[in-house]
Amino acid sequence: MFRRTLIAALLLMGAPILLSCQATESVTANSGSTFRDRGLEINSIQTAARTPGASFSTSRTSANLVSTRSVIRTGSDFEAAGLTLSPVTTESLPGWRTERHGDALEAFVESCVVLGQRDANEQASPSPLGGKVADWRGVCAQAASLDTNNHPRAKAFFEDNFKAFEVRGDGTFTGYYEAEIKGSRKRSRAFNWPLYTRPPELVNNQTYYSRAEIEAGALANRKLELLYVDNPVDVFMLQIQGSGVVNLDDGSTIRVGYAANNGHPFVSLREELESQGFDKSVYGASIQSYTRWLKEHPRQAMDVMNANPRFIFFTENQRDGAIGTQGIKLTGERSMAVDLDFMPLHVPLWLETHATAPNGSSRAIKRMMVAQDTGSAINGKVRGDFFWGSGSGALAMAGRMKSPGVYTMLLPNSIAATLPAR
């Protein structure tokens, strides 16, 4: 749902609590134009989940949240596809019994729609743990037949059709959100900063004009402008997140999503600010304060932003929601961006971590997510970016999230049977 496609590095510039995979700096899609890119990973979000907070506990928690957990392991740890996996029972996962499994099922069905359009013999994801598309056909057909409001039945579906494997290693989880900005279809003094569509000559994975060159006019007068925005910082932040809602000056609203990138590496704004001698106590430790500082210092902002050569191109998103990797609609508080070198797309994930609320309290997160997005700042075996949705609530949560944690992947029985579990 972009996907995103500014979805973590910005926060990198502030206090560590703000970093997020979209909190660490993510900016490059892993392969091809179908993989959404989100530069810095900002971690600010709005809570757009249909059942806000349904799987958040109200108890305070600490950074060693997962150190006291206990699960039932059904075999020894083993190596597979670059990961150390530990087979466990789903029923023993903390929070499993009280989860709203139907909400996760609804997000999973979004992945199934995309899988159903692909050839059965194709590799389902870059990671071999994703198996073939054929491995997902049966579970997807069954998922589509279920009532997502029937949570006990959805729980049984996951228990019967998947095997659970905890991914060993130190985990880091950040957050991202769907940005919301102001724009216009016509250029004016008020709306003078373009969002560009993909140039027809741009070739995937080949270097194109840098950000500084594009800002200097390299694409001017080519009719590649999709929309115009009222502030360059908002354009930059939208590129980091990869997708967003644009409130137009005529009163209408549209969504835009990632279309392509210029093939340049991502450069952290935090590193650039520090190299230029800026004190982070001045520009703030939250997405909101950092964005405000950039807008209040436009000359410094342009220099710092242009130090990141990566540039994102957009397309209008006709769907009602943010779009992630391979065109999958993202679900607030259910979709996760992962490192596709290790984690398969479409896989259900049981996440255990915590997030910091605007009032400073820490809430435990124990819930089912679905791997549906990626980003260049999301690197690691136990690394995830939590999609909070759209709006100010999502921004508030995403901008503060950088937490240790663990996730457990659920693989279809046919794929699990091929693993060397013992």
Instruction: Give one word for 380, left, alpha or beta, with left for phi > 0 and alpha for psi -120 to 50.
Output: left
| Res. 1 pLDDT band, cuts 50 70 90 | very low
Q: Quick one: CA torsion of 153, 156, 162, 163, rounded to 10 degrees?
A: 150
For position 17, what pLDDT does the model report? 28
For position 278, what pLDDT does the model report? 77
| Res. 155 pLDDT band, cuts 50 70 90 | very high
For position 326, what pLDDT does the model report? 73
- Is the pLDDT at 134 greater than 70? The verdict is yes
Q: What are the DSSP E strand ranges found in 275-339?
A: 312-317, 335-338
For position 68, what pLDDT does the model report? 65
| Res. 286 pLDDT band, cuts 50 70 90 | low
What's the mean pLDDT in 268-280?
75
Angle of the 287-296 helix axis to the 298-306 helix axis, nearest 10: 110
For position 419, what pLDDT does the model report? 94
> What integer best gives the mean pLDDT of the chain?
82
Cβ-contact 406, 170 below 8 angstroms:
no
What's the mean pLDDT in 229-255?
92
- Interatomic CA distance for residues 270 and 10, integer angstroms: 7
For position 269, what pLDDT does the model report? 75
| DSSP-derived secondary structure letter, 49 | -
Q: Is the dihedral of CA 18, 48, 227, 30 positive or negative?
A: positive
The 3-state secondary structure of 368-410, one letter per residue: EEEEEECCCCCCCCCEEEEEEEECHHHHHHHCCCEEEEEEEEE
What's the mean pLDDT in 168-173?
95
Least confident of 59-63, 126-130, 225-229, 379-383: 59-63
Strands 162-167 and 83-88: antiparallel
Which structural domain, as residue segments, surrounds residue 73?
A: 1-422
Cβ-contact 87, 169 below 8 angstroms:
no
How many Cβ atoms sit within 10 Å of the Cβ of residue 275?
A: 11
Q: Quick one: CA torsion of 268, 271, 276, 280, rounded to 10 degrees?
A: 110
- Interatomic CA distance for residues 159 and 181, integer angstroms: 42
Which residues pair with residue 370 across a beta bridge? 335, 348
Q: CATH no. for residue 318?
A: 2.40.40.10
Reading the block at residue 363, the tokens are: 């809430």
| DSSP-derived secondary structure letter, 121 | T
| Torsions phi, psi for 227 (to 5 deg) | -150, 170
Domains identified in the chain, total number: 1
